[in-house]
Structure 1
Amino acid sequence: MDSSNNEVIHDFPPFLKVYADGRTEKYIKMDFVPAGLDPKTGVQTKDVVVSPEIGLRARIFIPKVITPDQKLPLLVQYHGGGFCIGSSVDTVTHNFLSSLVTQANVIAISIDYRLAPEHPLPIAYDDSWAGLQWIATHSNGLGPEPWLNDHADLGRVFLEGESAGANIAHHVAVRAGVTKLAGLRIVGLLVVHPFFGGKERDEMYKFLCPTSSGCDDDPKLNPAVDPHLKSMACDRVLVFVAEKDWLKPRGVAYYETLVNSGWGGTVEFFETKGEDHCFFLFNSTCENAMSLMKKMVDFINHN
């Protein structure tokens, strides 16, 4: 092999590096959890095909105690990972959603959008949107997935994402408003430690999304320049940031943008002191993680 092919031309730790011959190498290797019964929480999971044409899948989480005709709020989750790592079936997502489903008494579905750079952005956005459209087909109780037909209250839908997933969740909510998506009602949006670019990560985003300038004039990196922001289809938003997270300023700016946008809903802000980016996914039993989880649960169960 030509040694020049081993030259690293892009390096974006802790996500990926790119070699001169076009190969990519991802720094983090994820562990996966098979669908079935979670012994710790009693949560049942099932993997479903959203679109066989593109291989789009999702995982559904149902709490331990649910009666045959019981309808629960539905949480639609978009995992983080810089748009290039992570999955709806990895250990981190599984543990987080199993805990949230148990504590909030909701059904959750994690959309397993395709990852960049193998599938360049905006494919992840389009997959995530396709997932919500598929969910909406269950509004009459005749959709393709019985768990959603039987147990999901599509009049009480929440979108949630962490990091890159928070970016995706926001844009899906805006798209739902612009298109006036029928069949479900998005009550709330949980935006957790959102990735809206900044510093060197703008260059990574530009690599993952070749059609993007990678700068603040891209609405996907800067919601303040999105002319459709006022159309966002939800009633309430909860923005989470962490004090030591280098992305905190972008999260604060997002909150302030919503407050001043004329969007018309209500927005809350929750900062965790002394913690870094997405700490709660990797240390879920610490006091700050439990406080963050309680805030999520209270937001979902707010009447």
Structure 2
Amino acid sequence: MGSIASAVTHEFPPYFRVYNDGRVERFKVPADYSPPSVDPETGVESKDVVISEETGVKVRIFLPKINCLDQTKLPLLVHYHGGAFCVGSSLDVVTTRLLNLQTSVANVVTVSVDYRLAPEHPLPIAYDDSWSALQWIATHLNGKGPELWLNEHVDFGRVFLTGDSVGANIAQHMAVRLGVTGLDGFRVRGAVMVHPYFAASEPDKMIQCLYPGSSGTDSDPRLNPKADPDLEKMGCEKVLVFVAEKDWFKPRGVEYCETLNKSEWKGTVELVENEGENHVFHVPNPACEKALLLMQKLASFVNQG
């Protein structure tokens, strides 16, 4: 009986295996939880907020060091972490270190969404959680939302979406959904896609496991922007896309830019290549020279008129 109960039904190294009793075993050891604090190097302060009592989904908010005499409100960066939809967290050491530095360099308020992970919470749950976070952020438009930092410090005329890898995929889908449905006057000016993951035409067995309800990697608009009939309605005016020279996913990022340019979307898209680097190189090493250059480019994109 023990051997039957522990039979493996799916295995996808280096990420996870699934047993026939529903148990999930992850091969990658999750990065340590990092409690919210004031970062001694950048002065960035962070806090965690539960945005849904029903699901328990949280966001981590990062506030740059504020001059109490300066009442200027700051751009808002809404961030979605990477991790193949099945690993990673906005609350771990790796993401917190990255966003402390990025928040400081760009001088923005950052809200990072800790969406639930597949396969325990199969897609499209990550997308649904991410949309719930935007709905929660939108409640602050009148300056009377539940979170004081957003009410006091955010310029809601300068909101940007960003993500790394699958986080960029989520940011893309959020931008389109905003354009299609609207959100009580909430607007996004731009999006920054860092080494985006978009599905290719060939079958992806891991995605099929993570997203059993998908119509297929080539035809699902969440996974493949080329298949999205609403792409032209994307609710932002400009997009910045980073690709890495040695990244397996580089062609998909380049194709995404070409797809946007050929569509009826009225915005502008800019492509930047991180030469000599691999996929999301900046996440584990955010203080390296090329990671800082990436952040400075993001800062310029967000802060320009």
TM-score by length of 1: 0.95
Q: Is the 8 A contact 1:59 1:88 kept in 2?
A: yes
* Residue 62 of structure 1 pairs with residue 63 of structure 2: yes
Q: Is the 8 A contact 1:206 1:213 kept in 2?
A: no
Q: Is the 8 A contact 2:179 2:235 kept in 1?
A: yes
Report the counterpart of residue 86 of structure 1 in structure 2: 88
Shift of 1:200: 7.6
Q: Is the 8 A contact 1:215 1:221 kept in 2?
A: yes
CA distance in 2, matches of 1:144, 1:234: 25
Unaligned segments of structure 2, at least 5 residues: none
Unaligned segments of structure 1, at least 5 residues: none
Residues 168-196 of structure 1: CA distance to partner in whole angstroms, max 9, x if unpaired?
01000100010122333211100111111
TM-score by length of 2: 0.95
* Residue 13 of structure 1 pairs with residue 43 of structure 2: no
Shift of 1:242: 0.8
CA distance in 2, matches of 1:259, 1:199: 20
Report the counterpart of residue 179 of structure 1 in structure 2: 181
Q: Is the 8 A contact 2:201 2:217 kept in 1?
A: no
- The number of residue pairs the alignment matches comes to 303
**Mean Cα deviation higher: 274-283 or 168-177:** 274-283
Report the counterpart of residue 128 of structure 1 in structure 2: 130
Residues 270-299 of structure 1: CA distance to partner in whole angstroms, max 9, x if unpaired?
111221110111122332222212211111
* Residue 105 of structure 1 pairs with residue 111 of structure 2: no
CA distance in 1, matches of 2:130, 2:203: 22
CA distance in 1, matches of 2:122, 2:4: 25
Report the counterpart of residue 148 of structure 1 in structure 2: 150
Shift of 1:11: 2.2
Report the counterpart of residue 36 of structure 2 in structure 1: 35
Change (3 A) 1:201 1:225: closer
Please give the residue correspondences for 1:122-271 in structure 2 after superposition, counting only pairs within 5 Å: 122-198=124-200, 202-271=204-273
Residues 120-171 of structure 1: CA distance to partner in whole angstroms, max 9, x if unpaired?
1101101100100110110001111111111111111000000111100100
**Mean Cα deviation higher: 4-13 or 261-270:** 4-13
CA distance in 1, matches of 2:23, 2:233: 40
Residues 58-108 of structure 1: CA distance to partner in whole angstroms, max 9, x if unpaired?
111000124374311100001111111111111111111111111111100
**Mean Cα deviation higher: 192-201 or 215-224:** 192-201
